[in-house]
Amino acid sequence: MPRIINVAGAQLGPIQKADSREAVVARMIALMDKAKGADFIVYPELALTTFFPRWYHENRAEADHWFEKSMPNAATQPLFDRAKVLGMGFTFGYAELTPDGHHFNTSILVDKAGRIVGKYRKIHLPGHVEYDPERTHQHLEKRYFEPGDLGFPVWRTMGGLFGMMICNDRRWPEAYRVMGLQGVEMITLGFNTPSTNSQKPDEGPEARAFHHKLSVQAGAYQNSTWVVAVAKAGVEDGFPMFGCSLIVDPDGRIVAETKTEDDEIIMHACDLDATKFGKDTIFDFKRHRRIEHYGRITSQTGVVLPQE
Closest to ligand ING by CB, 38 vs 246, is: 246
Q: How far apart are CA 128 and CA 241, in angstroms?
A: 18
Closest to ligand ING by CB, 11 vs 168, is: 168
Is 261 within 8 Å of 243 (Cβ atoms)? yes
- C-alpha pair distances (Å), 97 with each of 54, 71, 74, 218, 297: 18, 10, 16, 33, 31
Site for ligand ING in 238-267 (CB under 6 A): none
The window from 148-156, 164-172, 244-252, 285-293 that contacts ligand ING (CB under 6 A) reads 164-172
Instruction: Give Rg (Cα) of the chain.
Output: 19
Pick the catalytic residue from 167, 236, 244, 264: 167
Q: Is 45 a catalytic residue?
A: yes
Closest approach of Cβ 106 to ligand ING, in Å?
13
The window from 36-44, 152-160, 163-171, 257-265 that contacts ligand ING (CB under 6 A) reads 163-171
Under the criterion CB under 6 A, does residue 192 sit at the interface with ligand ING?
yes
- C-alpha pair distances (Å), 308 with each of 265, 300, 301: 54, 19, 21
Tell me the per-residue interface mask from 69 to 98 with ligand ING, x by CB under 6 A, - otherwise.
------------------------------
Q: Is 130 a catalytic residue?
A: no
3-state helix, strand, coil in the chain (%, to 5): 30, 25, 45
Under the criterion CB under 6 A, does residue 230 sit at the interface with ligand ING?
no
Q: Check whether the bond before 306 is cis (ω within 30° of 0).
A: no
Under the criterion CB under 6 A, does residue 49 sit at the interface with ligand ING?
no
Q: Which residues pair with 163 in a beta bridge?
A: 154, 187
User: So which residues are the catalytic ones?
Assistant: 45, 122, 167
- The footprint of ligand ING (CB under 6 A) covers 126, 167-168, 171, 191-193
